Amino acid sequence: MNKFIVIILIISLSIAVTNSKIPKGKLKGHLTFKQVFDWMENQVVSKFPNYAITYDIGRSVQNRPIRVLCLGEDCFRQRYEIHPIIGETHYNSLHHAREPLGMMTLIVFIDDLLSQIKLKNFTIINLLRTRRLDFVLVVNPDGYVANEKNKHNGLKRKNFGIHSNDTCQNIQPYLKDLLLYQQNNSYKIMKTEIGVDLNRNYDFCFGIDVKGSSTNPCSLDYHGPFPFSEPETQAIKYLIENRFYGVAFNYHAFGKEILLPYSCDNTILKSEDFTFDQIQIMNFYKQYADRLTKGIFVRYLLLLYTKNLLFQEMGIHMDNIGMKIEI
C-alpha cells in the first residue's frame, strides 16, 4: 500500500483543533460561501504563505469562482506542472449544496493540519514539503448561495443548470414541494428541483440505468443531458486531468459510510475477483471506518461503490484510489 495514503488517512482522523482560527459560521454554524473564501485568503494563504496558495479552475453557471486551496511546497511550481515524485491528493465537498458538513469537516482538517506547523510538528512540516493537497471546498457555489438566501428551507441540492429539454424551468427554484409521509414504516421525502445533480454528471457509467440517477430534469438525481454538461464538473475534470492525484476524497453528508469504486451493474464480486493489492486497500479502509466509529461512537460502514462519480474516467483508478466519504 502506498505509504502516502496511510499518512493522509491517519492525519485525517485527527479532529482536535489547536488555536482554531475558523470563524463562527453564519449559516446555522456553517461558513457561508463568502466566509469560506475569506477564510482561505485571510487565515490560510496570508498566514502560511510558504505552504498555501489559491487559484480558480472555472466558473459556475451563475459565474461564481470554483477555487482550489493548495497546501504544500509543491503548490508553488508552475501551475499544472506534474512532479513524478511528489504525492498528490485531491479533496472536494459540496457537490450537493445542502451538505455543508462535508465542507466543514475539511475546513477543520485544514485548520488542524496548519496548526501543527506553529507547534513545529516536523511530521506535518515534512508532509507539506513532500506532498501536495488540493481542496475544492465548494464545488456547487450557486446552490450553496441559494441555500444561504433561503435559510428556513435551504434544501437546494443541485446546481442551476437549465437545458432546453428541461420541464422544470418555471418551478420555484429551491423546492416546488416538500412532502413527508410514512409508508411501510419508513419515511420518504419527495422533492422537485431545477438543475443538475453534479455528482451524477461525470461520464463514467453515465445514464447506464435509473437506479443511481435519473433522466427526469425535476428529479434530485437528474444527471443532466450529457456527461460534463455543467461548468462545475468541467472544472473538476480539467483539474484532475492536469494533475497526478494518487488518492481522492469526495466528501458528502450524511450517511456514515466510506464508499469505494466501482459498480455499474448488479454483478456480485467474489474475493478471487480482486488482486492482492486491492484486497489490502479495502482492508485498510475497513480499519479506517472502524477507527472513525471508535472515535465518535457512530458506526461507519465500508461499501463498494459507485456510479457516476469522478473516479475512473478522470484518472482515479483502484491502484490510485478514489473514495466517497459520507460524514
232-261 pLDDT, tens digit per residue, is 999 999 998 888 888 888 888 877 667 666
Q: What's residue 180's pLDDT?
A: 40
Say which residues have a Cβ less than 8 Å from residue 232's Cβ, sequence separation at least 6: 58, 60, 61, 66, 139, 140, 159, 198
In a domain, 28, yes or no: yes
Q: What's residue 151's pLDDT?
A: 58
Q: Which helix (H) or strand (E) holds 307?
A: none
Between residues 255 and 105, which one has the greater pLDDT?
105
Nearest residue to 243 via CA among 139, 133, 319: 133
CB 94 within 8 A of CB 140: yes
In a domain, 221, yes or no: no
Q: What's residue 217's pLDDT?
A: 87
Q: What is the C-alpha separation between 84 and 185, in angstroms, rounded?
A: 54
In a domain, 295, yes or no: yes
Q: What's residue 21's pLDDT?
A: 74
**Residue 96 lies in domain:** 3-143+231-326
In a domain, 132, yes or no: yes
Between residues 11 and 70, which one has the greater pLDDT?
70
In a domain, 204, yes or no: no
In a domain, 81, yes or no: yes
Q: What is the C-alpha separation between 246 and 134, in angstroms, rounded?
A: 12
Whether residue 61 is predicted with pLDDT greater than 90 in this model: the reply is yes
Q: What's residue 327's pLDDT?
A: 59
The average confidence (pLDDT) of the chain is 76
Whether residue 62 is predicted with pLDDT greater than 80 in this model: the reply is yes
Q: What is the C-alpha separation between 211 and 110, in angstroms, rounded?
A: 35
pLDDT tens digits for range 11-46 = 444 444 445 678 889 998 999 999 999 999 999 999
Q: What's residue 155's pLDDT?
A: 80
Tell me the percentage of the chain whose pLDDT exceeds 90. Answer: 39
* Cell numbers standing for residue 324: 466517497
Q: What's residue 179's pLDDT?
A: 40
pLDDT tens digits for range 272-317 = 666 777 677 777 777 766 766 665 555 545 455 433 334 343 333 3
Q: What's residue 43's pLDDT?
A: 95
Q: What's residue 204's pLDDT?
A: 78
CB 327 within 8 A of CB 249: no
Between residues 185 and 28, which one has the greater pLDDT?
28
Q: What's residue 163's pLDDT?
A: 82
Q: What is the C-alpha separation between 86 and 240, in angstroms, rounded?
A: 15
Number of structural domains the chain divides into: 1
CB 160 within 8 A of CB 62: yes
Q: What's residue 247's pLDDT?
A: 80
Q: What's residue 164's pLDDT?
A: 67
CATH number at residue 69: 3.40.630.10
* Cell numbers standing for residue 237: 475534470
CB 74 within 8 A of CB 82: no
In a domain, 122, yes or no: yes
- Whole-model pTM: value is 0.81
In a domain, 189, yes or no: no
Confidence of residue 142 (pLDDT cuts 50, 70, 90): very high
Q: What's residue 296's pLDDT?
A: 53
pLDDT tens digits for range 189-210 = 445 688 999 999 988 778 777 7
